[in-house]
Structure 1
Amino acid sequence: MSDIPANANRRVLSGMRPTGRLHLGHYHGVLKNWIRLQAEYDCFFFVADWHALTTHYEDPRVIHDGTREMLIDWLAAGVDPEQATLFVQSQMPEHAELHLLLSMMTPLSWLERVPTYKDQIENLKEKDLSTYGFLGYPLLQSADILIYRAGHVPVGADQVAHVEITREVARRFNHIYGREPDQAQRAEESIKRMGKKAAREYRELFARYQEQGDATALEATRNLLAEQANLKAEEKDRLLFYLEGRGREILPEPQALLTPASKMPGLDGRKMSKSYGNTIALREDPAEVTKKIRTMPTDPARVRRTDPGTPEKCPVWALHQVYSDESTRTWAHQGCCSAGIGCLDCKQPVIDGVLAELEPIQERARALEAEPQRLHKIVQAGQQKAREVAQATLKEVRQVMGLRFV
């Protein structure tokens, strides 16, 4: 079932910082959702390497190498360049220009109040984050979204604030630059071209909405304007905005598309994260995967093979929730509680499940590693498509901001 209304802007934009090779937490938390979305929506997925510089500017090699490795993992996991547009942020200067232009009209206080700004300052004390780039990264995120006029942005609950500031920036931009100085005069000219009957109906709906606040008049106006074959699309937009008392929507306000939290636990039961050292990489050697799972900690109460345990206290049980069917989970639960099976017995179905999931991913990754030019061509094609969209947006933004030489 779709998460996006049928009449909504169906472009989705999402990015990921280049952290190198990805692990199962990324696959279950982000990539599987991207794969689902790409089949239904116009998806733009990008490597956010400029964002990586906001916290790792002193180590550029990590960013360079991480970009290539991450793109391979995206494609190996099933992100399809025939369905989605893939590109690298730093190769799209349009993002930087829109970021600069938006910075001219975005209040400084909006950036300082973003929750993650203070959180990261506190959590990354070992880094010097007293930089302009770090303070401005939420606005760069806004530019990433608005340059493609994306309707939806897949985010976790902790990232909703970043979409909200993007909505505020778009709203402020449209308020300042969306109003034509001669809006009323242009609207009247368009009304006259509708014909007497349609013009009279528009004026009646205008009065109902403006004077009585009749919400049904808005939908009726949309239907009326849709029927006017002699009006251009921009004229229809102008008459709708005129009725609503607002300017033209140059930069659409995106919506947060909440994604479910990743259910992929790490090898120690905590969230899978490189910082915890509890990950299984998508391209991890099968022998190493087996070793990692076989040496996972289990319920401390099971000191000996004959000691019964409590599955809910064991990290392996959390992996059974991801990789085992109901009958296997029942077998593992009963066997643990009764000491009918040992911990290594319990781990084997998980090992089998993880290796089965990784096998096709690793096969596709090996093919990509053997053809480096293929990866280059995929990204070049994606960037060409993304650039066409970005340049069209930037052209209009420049015009309304008065940045025209002639």
Structure 2
Amino acid sequence: MTTPQSTVVVTGDRTTGPLHLGHFAGSLQTRLQLQDQHQQFILLADTQALADHQGDYHGVRQAVIDIALDYLAVGIDPQKSTILIQSMVPELAELSFYLMNLVTVARLERNPTVKNELRHKGQERDVAAGFLTYPISQAADITALRGTLIPVGEDQLPMIEQTNEIVRRFNRMVGKPILRECEALLSNTTRLPGLDGKGKMSRAAGNHLSLSASADEITAAVNRMYTDAQHLTVGSPGRVEGNVVFSFLDAFDPDSVKVAELKAHYQHGGLADSVVKARLNEVLQALLAPIRARRQELAKEPDAILSMLLCGSAKARQTAVLTLHKVKTAMGMYYF
């Protein structure tokens, strides 16, 4: 294993369900590549999840187990990557509280990521305070674990910008470089669309395909995928842009030459949607079958999964404790 050169902190999705192909196309593949090169922390954000899943404690707890199973099933190695539960590292919450004093409500409301999520949920000010302040919580996660390289999608770039704003303001306040600035690492894969072609893939929209999907579920999902509404006959030319099937082939088919040939044939005319979907079905079955099998085996030992998460949380806490000690010392908050 290569000697770590920088810390990678991944703040988890605030979700109440297993991961899906959208995650795999972006962040999961990036994490797999990085775990052999850097010290990597992967955070299961159960505390943040409660901000928009109020009262669904059972669902959030189950999501922690489900997501951990998905990580392990795709190849995340707990010997190389530290997987932790946010609520099991209380220093993150304490640091969040201190950092809240460095950000105005107006600045939080201007955060494009927060604004977009509120618009998507159909909410404005009728939202939990914890949801509005989650950019601060994310900043605490990153800085407490000494993160310097953060894999994110383009929609999360404002979060990294705000984290660095907080870091600079804190360091100016105490007169020392206590907290580190970080750099965003964008995935090579663009955001994967939903099965219906409407926006990105998400559980909330019901247009996703879980990594644990059965063979029949994969086939059914591919069959209902949006292609080209104007491709009415086999002989007519079809559009590749906006065609969900081709977006998935670009993301998952290892044979890029074959994909290019299919695109050219489809655009020229003479290629049925069913042929392209059959190709994608074959690709996804081959991709997900071993992941599904490994996940099923791992799920038979829930105590081992919990033990791994507790060990990872304890390891991450060592770093967070040291960071918080430096923060409180710089702020003069020790009274003995």
**TM-score normalised by L of structure 2:** 0.88
The aligned residue for residue 306 of structure 2 is 376
The amino acid that maps onto 1:15 is: T
Out of 113, 117, 130, the position equivalent to 2:114 is 117
The aligned residue for residue 156 of structure 1 is 153
The aligned residue for residue 11 of structure 1 is 7
Q: How does 1:195-274 map to 2 (within 5 A)?
A: 247-262=175-190, 264-270=192-198, 271-274=200-203
- Distance in 2 of aligned mates of 1:104 and 1:302: 56
| Structure with the largest fraction of helix | 1
CA contact (8 A) 2:237 2:270 kept: no
The aligned residue for residue 283 of structure 1 is 212
Q: Does 1:102 align with 2:99?
A: yes
CA contact (8 A) 1:267 1:315 kept: yes
Report the CA distance between 1:320 and its aligned residue: 3.0
Alpha-carbon spacing, 1:345–1:156, altered in 2? closer, same or farther (3 Å): closer
- Larger deviation: 122-131 or 274-283? 122-131
CA contact (8 A) 1:92 1:383 kept: yes
The amino acid that maps onto 2:192 is: M
Structure 2: which 5+ residue stretches go unaligned? none
The aligned residue for residue 136 of structure 1 is 133
The amino acid that maps onto 2:39 is: D
- Distance in 1 of aligned mates of 2:182 and 2:264: 48
Report the CA distance between 1:32 and its aligned residue: 0.3
Alpha-carbon spacing, 1:264–1:130, altered in 2? closer, same or farther (3 Å): closer
Identity value in percent: 33
- Larger deviation: 374-383 or 134-143? 134-143
CA contact (8 A) 1:296 1:316 kept: yes
CA contact (8 A) 1:157 1:258 kept: yes
Alpha-carbon spacing, 1:334–1:253, altered in 2? closer, same or farther (3 Å): closer
- Distance in 2 of aligned mates of 1:366 and 1:63: 20
Structure 1: which 5+ residue stretches go unaligned? 1-5, 178-246
- Distance in 2 of aligned mates of 1:298 and 1:116: 29
Q: Does 1:321 align with 2:318?
A: no
- Distance in 2 of aligned mates of 1:65 and 1:44: 20
- Larger deviation: 385-394 or 98-107? 98-107
Alpha-carbon spacing, 1:367–1:290, altered in 2? closer, same or farther (3 Å): same
- Larger deviation: 18-27 or 289-298? 289-298
Alpha-carbon spacing, 1:73–1:276, altered in 2? closer, same or farther (3 Å): same
The aligned residue for residue 27 of structure 1 is 24
- Distance in 1 of aligned mates of 2:231 and 2:155: 37
The amino acid that maps onto 2:205 is: Y
The total of aligned residue pairs comes to 331
